[in-house]
Amino acid sequence: MYETREHFLNIPLRQTPSPNSLRPHRLNSTLPSNSLHPTIKFKTLYKSSPKCTSHSSSTMTIISLLFTSLLLLIHPTPSASDHHHHPRRRSIHPPSIKNTPSSSDLTHQACSATRNPQLCESSLIHYPTGTPTEIIQSALTISSNNLKQAQSMSQTILESASGNINKTTAAKNCIEHLNNSAYRLKSTADALPRGDLKNARAWTSAGLAYQYDCWSALKYVNDTKTINETMSFLNTLIGYTSNALSLMMAYDVFGDKTTSWAPPKTEREGFWEVGGSGGGAPELGVLAGLKADVTVCKGGGCDYVTVQEAVNAGPDWGYDRRFVIWVKTGVYEETVRVGLEKVNVVVLGDGMGKTVITGSLNVGQPGLSTYNTATFGVVGDGFMASGLTIENTAGPDAHQAVAFRSDSDRSIIENCEFLGNQDTLYAHSLRQFYKSCRIEGNVDFIFGNSASIFQDCSILIRPRQQNPEKGENNAVTAHGRIDPAQSTGFVFQNCLINGTEEYMRLYNSNPKVHKNFLGRPWKEFSRTVFIDCNMEALITPQGWMPWTGDFALKTLYYGEFENSGKGSDLSGRVAWSSRIPAEHVNVYSVGNFLQGFPSPPALQPLVSYAATKTAAQFFRPSRYTLQSYRSAYFLCSLMVSSFMIV
């Protein structure tokens, strides 16, 4: 499958699929039972009859007393501590069953802060909207419920794709993307009642990106009515998720006064999120002194001979500790996958150029998309790596050929080398940190829709084609943000932007034909900034390259701040690039842009991939409600026991 990078087509997000059977469903006015305080229904345990014994009245008295106590415990008065809120966290609780008379006005105000206000209002008609937090929870529920239908439709495509390798690949990728989306939206539903809006926004940003990735995968094999209908359904689903994300952003930025809410804006429009000074963020890096759980080597004497075997040996959902793999010096020709369930995996090598993991998959091979070509792909959260070289040797004429692809939230990569040509490093989604790494390539060789910071890295352009002396246009980055509310972007801090020795010989022989740009907009709201970087002379005076025509030139944000070197001169930059104001540069600090990785994955709630369900099924009851359930269970047992004794 040959895949080209194209921008998100302007399919109207408000459009609904034509077949009524495929119209995104809405719940009726009855909410999921577990989103409300439960009402316990009792069957008649005792019926009076002429044959009742003399103990009947005393038995009924005991049961009545127990039943009264039970009701008091089920509906207790919340303690003062339950009303306490951290001043910087706004808890979003599950929807209640009551709407205030002004809920329609409130909904209108809130939905005006989305990119699709008409779709937002119409979808919320049968959902609780009495408070801003109810509106957000309801919007998330709508997205999650429709996501289930999209998963089912994608499975139908896979089942009908037998014998068509490209369609099978597209359907499998689509299913994987939607599963990842469901997992992230479920995590968001868990985070909102805790007031954890930063994580909620990061995870929903990823959930939205995965839904678009499914749509994009099907775009290349859209030759049947079923696929076309699925894409139409996905298009509306993307609108629902975009709405939920915009509402979260508005609540996080403006508070609970919906009259002040506004649609998401970017730095290009003068909007800067308020953050800390950025000076107190902790130093991020791979932990020192880690002891290996397993070893990998080629000549024997180790636990495993392949990296994949070692990954497979690690625990699933190991949130309580890190699983450390030491890959000793050698060249490992294999494709490695770290699944979603493999959390807190650490891969340590003996150093760049010593421990080498290599592959050559590319989109020129049947049944492969860019996503599938990665030599090393990781999805499980909390991934760490150090001392590795990961490469894709497909060559400069093989088009997309990924060396490393990451969807690992709060991942840290240090002292690693990534070698390739087009699409070397696929920073696909979520929050990633790269420290003191070496990244080589030529066409869009750092790309994706993640929130990634590259600190103290060497970014090197290498020759692009078989006859490179004729010249070329190279772009270092291609960021793919599709929605202004997504908290994603590429940040380069104190990095070197240069060419390999081989490329610099070519460049110096005829600089006019070798043009190199800092980036180009893969998607409409592409965001990339360079801060305190050293840009050598090979960077063109224009600095940035358009994708095609004027696409995204009014919506992207490409910023620079206090860079050095011959390629850093801003006087010749394109008009649609920006200079980052000094008072806002800390927006891109580790502490603000990545939230400083506030807590390690081991401290996050346990979430099982197998247990992924709709968001509505995971609203957390308050602490006193959980205590009531336990007390209710005890009293029910006591009532039954008392009856049996009497």
> Which residue numbers are catalytic?
423, 444
Would you give the distance in Å from CA 71 to the centre of its chain? 42
Point out which residues pair with 560 in neighbouring strands.
530, 579
Compute how many other C-beta atoms are within 10 angstroms of the C-beta atom of residue 104.
Answer: 14
Beta strand spans in 532-626 (E): 534-535, 557-561, 578-579
Number of H helices, E strands in the chain: 11, 26
Structure-token match 């603000």, residue found: 592
Phi, then psi, of 585 in degrees rounded to 5 = -65, -25
Alpha-carbon gap, residue 459 to 446, rounded angstroms: 9
Helix axes 225-254, 197-219, angle to 10 degrees: 160
Strands 425-427 and 443-448, how do they pair?
parallel
On whether the CB atoms of residues 489 and 529 are closer than 8 A, the answer is: yes
Beta bridge partners of 492: 454, 530
- Count CB atoms within 10 A of the CB of residue 333: 12
> What amino acid is encoded at 266 in this protein?
T
Cα distance between residue 70 and residue 642, in whole Å: 15
Q: Which residues pair with 357 in a beta bridge?
A: 332, 390
CB atoms within 10 A of CB 19: 11
Return the structure tokens found at 127: 């959902």
For residue 346, the cross-strand partners are 324, 384
Q: What is the DSSP letter of 549?
A: T
Tokens of 35: 């989103």
Q: For 613-629, give one letter per residue: b (16+ CB within 10 A) or e.
A: ebbbbbbbbbeebeebe
Helix axes 132-159, 165-191, angle to 10 degrees: 160
